[in-house]
Structure 1
Amino acid sequence: MKRRRAPPKPAPVDVDAGRPVRTGSAQFVRELRGRTFPSADEVLLKPSGAQLTVEYLEEKTFSVPILVARKEGLGMTLPPPTFSARDVEHYVGAEKEIEVMDVGRQVPLKMKLGDFVTYFCGSRRDRVLNVTGLEFSDTRLSNVVETPRIVRKLSWVENLWPGESARERPSLQKFCLLGARDSFTDFHVDRGGGLGVVP
């Protein structure tokens, strides 16, 4: 039996030249930045941090996206605004192997955090790299960041993971994102079911 293949998705076309625009190229990024999308204000819920409780979520049923515009009232802790990629390297460790996205090709690759920070802080870049999934719960950076109260209350891992389990307890609580200029991701579903796109 032969498998049927879905028809390939059409690539964006350069109208002037009649050629597909290469993903990640300067023209692709310009066109992506120039796009406008319909406003989501009609469907977004916009509670304050203090309003975002288990009872609120039970009433609203997670049926539409929720945007909390300010961190006040969320019971979370973040590093100061001056916190930099070098600080991330200091707290996590230069030798930590991380997954990095080659944005132009939209393919992952592995590299050491120290090498990525050198690239990130440098002035010359031959490609655009993006870190979208540096989980740091098991590092010293975890002491600088506290997740929102509602996340801690609803976390299955924090609240329901058995003390003695044959499976290792997963670390999916705290993530750091580091993206160079012109970074983007394709639409995707994040861990925990959140839909995301990172421009």
Structure 2
Amino acid sequence: LTFVLVKQRKNQHRRDYSDANADNKPTQSGTPDFINKLKRRIFPGCESVVTRLKGNHLTPEYLATYGFTQPILISNRDGLDMTLPNRTITLAEIRDAVGQDRFIDIIDCEKQVTYKMNLNDYIEYYENFERSKIYNVLSLEISNTKYELKFI
């Protein structure tokens, strides 16, 4: 005999849907309630909070004069005086350059918690389209790799 214990759903706004004390707790991201509320919201355009510049206009003088108090969207990276990776660079190329065992910080988007994961495991996760969680990588340290002097 096999018994299956199923928790009774007591709420739609918490990850622990069987939490008996959930009524007084706020809605958590990723829950059915959160997603439904998000779908119904109307967001204003970003123009009031984003500065749009061409790469050659983003200079030390610009930043000294205007600061960096809101996001800057670069429409054309020419003139940035930066070398960026080719847009066709692959995760496999990055893994080969920095090492598959390099640990990176990943963020669990639902829980907003940071974890360590090695790069190879992250790439396996990323290339699997049937993901149960959403992880984000904000940066990857390239010091002491073949990319160190190539991209600035």
* TM norm. shorter chain > 0.5: yes
What residue is the counterpart of 1:58 in the other structure?
A: 64
Tell me, in whole angstroms, the C-alpha distance in 2 between the residues paired with 1:55 and 1:130: 33
Q: Which residue matches 2:76? A: 70
Normalising by the residue count of structure 1, what TM-score does the alignment of the two structures yield?
0.53
Structure 1 position 125 matched with structure 2 position 128: no
Map Cα deviations across residues 89-141 of structure 1 (whole Å, 9 max, x no partner): 11111011111112221111112111111111123322222212322233223
1:96 correspondence with 2:102: yes
Equivalences for 1:13-24 in 2 at 5 Å?
21-24=27-30
Trace 1:14-163 onto structure 2 (pairs within 5 A).
21-25=27-31, 28-29=34-35, 31-32=37-38, 35-42=41-48, 44-62=50-68, 65-146=71-152
- Equivalent residue pairs, number: 132
Q: 1:72 to 1:123 in 2, by over 3 A?
A: same
Q: Counterpart of 2:20? A: none
Q: Deviations over 1:131-188 (max 9, x none)?
A: 1232223322334422xxxxxxxxxxxxxxxxxxxxxxxxxxxxxxxxxxxxxxxxxx
- RCO higher in 1 or 2 (8 Å CA, sep ≥ 6)? 1
Task: Please give the root-mean-square deviation of Cα atoms over the aligned residues, in Å.
Answer: 3.1
- Give the deviation of 1:33 after TM superposition: 6.2
SS of 1:67's partner is strand
Residues 138, 21 of structure 1: alpha-carbon distance in 2 compared, 3 angstrom cutoff: same
CA spacing shift, 1:96–1:64, aligned 2, 3 Å: closer
| Secondary structure class of the residue paired with 1:111 | strand
The answer (yes or no) to whether the contact 2:56–2:77 under 8 Å persists in 1 is no
In 2, the alpha carbon distance for the partners of 1:65 and 1:123 equals: 30
Identity of matched residues, % = 33
Structure 1: stretches of 5+ with no match in the other structure: 1-11, 147-199
Are residues 68 and 87 of structure 1, via their aligned partners in 2, closer, same or farther at CA, if it must alter by over 3 Å?
Answer: same
TM-score normalised over the length of structure 2: 0.66
Q: By how many angstroms is 1:29 displaced?
A: 4.8
Q: Larger radius of gyration, structure 1 or 2? A: 2
